[in-house]
Amino acid sequence: MPELVWLNGEVQDLDTAVTPVADHAHLYGDGLFEGIRIYNRKVFKLDEHLDRLYSGIRYLGFEMQIPQNELKQTVLDVCAQAGEEKGYIRLNVTRGTGLGLDPAHINRRPNVMVMVSRLSLYPPEAYETGLVAVLCSTRIIPAQCLDPRLKTIGRYVSNIQAKLEANRQGAGEGIMLNTEGYLAEGTGDNVFLIRDGVMRTPHLSCGILAGITRATVIQLARQAGIEVREEFLTMYDLVGADEAFLTGTAAEVIPLVGVDGKKIGCGVPGEVTKRLMALFREHTNEGTPF
């Protein structure tokens, strides 16, 4: 099936699609994005992703021309044209087009893109054996500088630097702290750990992204009778956990079995992690059909 891009009302093939070179996200990172999964010809958590996107649009003052319900239908239409049974949607909204930081002097009609493609963040075997991570020296951007609830394009430069650190050490993922030294997130994932049957994850005030998959897994865990706490955690808590895992739209739910040369628990995916992986996979049967 074709990999397609819808850009400002025009559908193009992904391989030949072009964007304006003076797009404000291309020049300054001044844009928002969402990554969304397709499972079984259904778009997973589409409304939640669009809610987060439009909250960011309002906060950043983008002069969005497309109502949320109309963009939702556009996403579904492009998915239907692409015909992907299972895939990945990249949705971008940028402030507009023009050179110069000051939005007063650019064309402030947002550029809106819907890309339907495929993405595999980790190799399939990693979901069976688990990831080994390293602690990165690159810290996340402080919340007082840029609210982490904004899924901005420019914010991810620091995450890319952390990922490069992990790559240089041959690790499957990198773990990032905030500037106060508290556990934050992976380079593209939220972090969870299990200790004595209790599931713990960094509090949102630690400066982490309020992940859609993170919220889904917390809900699934509580429905399954697992106690969940959002806390201020350190690397001591992670290394001392019985088991750990990462979550994200691209990552889904993947075990984390070691960090900085130390095993987490027994160094293999834990039973609670495997249970939550199964619950999440079952939950992906829900979604918006196209």
Residue 121 clears pLDDT 90, i.e. is over it: no
Domain match, 146 and 247 both: yes
Domain match, 133 and 267 both: yes
Using pLDDT thresholds of 50, 70 and 90, give the confidence band for residue 125: very high
- The total of structural domains in the chain comes to 2
Domain match, 270 and 177 both: yes
Q: What per-residue confidence (pLDDT) applies to 132? A: 97
Q: What per-residue confidence (pLDDT) applies to 69? A: 97
Please check whether residue 288 lies inside any domain of the structure.
no
Query: Of the residues 151, 163, 262, 263, which is catalytic?
Result: 151
Give the structural domain span for 80.
Answer: 4-117
Percent of the chain with pLDDT over 70: 100
Residue 3 clears pLDDT 90, i.e. is over it: no
Average pLDDT, the chain: 95
Q: What per-residue confidence (pLDDT) applies to 119? A: 87
Q: What per-residue confidence (pLDDT) applies to 96? A: 97
Domain match, 142 and 74 both: no
Please check whether residue 183 lies inside any domain of the structure.
yes
Give the tokens for residue 165.
């650190």
Please check whether residue 48 lies inside any domain of the structure.
yes
pTM of the model: 0.93
Of 75, 99, 117, the residue at which a domain comes to its end is 117
Domain match, 181 and 198 both: yes
Q: What per-residue confidence (pLDDT) applies to 179? A: 95
Please check whether residue 18 lies inside any domain of the structure.
yes
Domain match, 213 and 74 both: no
Q: Please say if 163 is a catalytic residue.
A: no
Using pLDDT thresholds of 50, 70 and 90, give the confidence band for residue 1: low
Range from 29-38, 55-64, 142-151, 206-215 carrying the lowest mean pLDDT:
142-151
Q: What per-residue confidence (pLDDT) applies to 33? A: 97
Instruction: Give the residue-averaged pLDDT of 176-185.
Output: 97
Domain match, 31 and 95 both: yes
pLDDT, one tens digit per residue, over 72-108 is 999 999 999 999 899 999 999 999 999 999 999 999 9
Reduced 3-state DSSP string for the chain: CCCEEEECCEEEECCCCCCCCCEHHHHHCCEEEEEEEEECCEECCHHHHHHHHHHHHHHHCCCCCCCHHHHHHHHHHHHHHHCCCCEEEEEEEECCECCCCCHHHCECCCCEEEEEECCCCCCCCHHHHCEEEEECCCCCCCCCCCCCCCCECCCHHHHHHHHHHHHHCCCCEEEEECCCCCEEEECCCEEEEEECCEEEEECHHHCCCCCHHHHHHHHHHHHCCCCEEEECCCHHHHHCCCEEEEEECCCEEEEEEEECCEECCCCCCCHHHHHHHHHHHHHCCCCEEC
Q: Which residue in the block uniquely carries the two structure tokens 């290394």?
A: 239
Domain match, 134 and 277 both: yes
pLDDT, one tens digit per residue, over 228-249 is 999 999 999 999 999 999 999 9
Q: Tell me, what CATH number does 17's domain have?
A: 3.30.470.10
Range from 13-17, 179-183, 266-270 carrying the lowest mean pLDDT:
13-17
